[in-house]
Amino acid sequence: MGLGSGSAAVLVVEDEPLVRTMAADILMDAGYRVFEACEAADALAILDGRDDIGAVFTDIEMPGGMTGLALAAAVRDRWPSMPVLVTSGRVRPGAGELPNGAAYIAKPYMAPVHYSATDSR
């Protein structure tokens, strides 16, 4: 996905607090700054208010009426160059459901998979 470490920031969008913390910890251990949201509306508000977020990592199934796939599409429409990584432990996106340029990894994920999905090192 082409993120560098250090000053790059990733927005993690996950409604399960423990899973969100785990994803954030993996990314911070890899050198990323991390922002967190528990639903899509919060994620969009954070993205609207910041210009230092370089990627979005979102779960598919979330409360609040907007799925992670809908969030990925909204991010692609509003910030076309922003990498989006979509994940789920239950639902695998069907053909054509991911926006162009978005990637998918299944839960549970491990740190090396997470790193390679968010960085082209």
Check: pTM over 0.95? Answer yes or no.
no
Q: Is residue 1 part of a domain?
A: no
Using CA atoms, how far apart are residues 29 and 26, in angstroms rounded to an integer?
5
Q: Is residue 13 part of a domain?
A: yes
Q: Is residue 97 part of a domain?
A: yes
Q: Is residue 39 part of a domain?
A: yes
pLDDT tens, position by position, 98-119: 888 888 888 887 665 555 555 5
**In terms of residue numbers, what domain contains 62?**
9-118
Tell me which residue of 110, 40, 116 sits closest to 75, measured CA to CA.
Answer: 40
pLDDT tens, position by position, 52-100: 999 999 999 988 889 999 999 999 999 999 999 999 888 788 778 888 8
What's the CATH code of the domain at 76?
Answer: 3.40.50.2300
Using CA atoms, how far apart are residues 80 and 74, in angstroms rounded to an integer?
9
Using CA atoms, how far apart are residues 118 and 95, in angstroms rounded to an integer?
21
Total of domains in the chain: 1
Structure tokens at 14: 């996950």
Q: Is residue 90 part of a domain?
A: yes
Q: Is residue 23 part of a domain?
A: yes
Q: Is residue 2 part of a domain?
A: no
Helices (H), 4-121: 17-29, 40-49, 68-78, 111-118
